[in-house]
Structure 1
């Protein structure tokens, strides 16, 4: 949180003494909207992208005020359908977080695959890990989940948690793919 606050503090300082910025595109969960909305008329327009389940900060978004020149977009229509009323006034639409296929990907033969299933996503009840687990179990595949792990932001934090390795069939890898333990 400290790094995010320092980042936004620098942005606010820049915005206060520059007149050549027309739009701030923010991705900083609730900290970004809090600081940028608090600037009031002393800031350019804001587009805040919602990259998470809105239930994560339900109380904040439910009470989000009617701020001038403050817009939000989501990553799916389903996400925005669940937006609380306090946020709906600011919604401008959604942009899918899809990755385009490689050139001629549909015309190439698929590479041989091992018996595994990979899901790349934040661990969240709406991201489908439970479905991936059922499919992996049903077909006898190894399941590889790639994404942020709970409250851990460093391999050291993960190693310090006495419960992190309580399942013998779970391995945690650091960002470089090496075991975290």
Structure 2
């Protein structure tokens, strides 16, 4: 039986092996049910829809192969870490900044948001993010868009929680500097308001 992501577990072997495979299959299906949409959203922010879907299937293929090494409760940061590494291969031809600018333009062209000032502030946030370097942007997205804890975001990036905290502080400072240059929002957003803006875009 194939899982929702099209990963087909191996067949055959002893009864014990079959029972273990069934348990693994059940766990993978549950992991996909809980985190598949989040991984797709993460990849869709950087890749077109078709490439993002292909990459999600690849992520869960890796997850199937290494399922027993993934600690309970750490599935989400583990999946994001795999997705991040795979996306780095795709970014040689199309960078994250270009994809984010495309999303910004598409959002700015929308005329269905009656809250003009809020919409303008959201566009300001995206514009400021697009102006940051890849490292700063990723730190902020993981923390404020995808709502990872500092520890889990550090796991995605492969650094210590302390190192992530330093990177987050620096990224937030640079975001503030860029955002303060924008004319629409007169006040630079706090971490809380940045979270609210970004979640409102989802």
Q: Same fold (TM over 0.5)?
A: no
TM-score computed with the length of structure 1 as normaliser: 0.26
Which is greater in Rg?
Answer: 1
TM-score computed with the length of structure 2 as normaliser: 0.25
More helix by share: 2
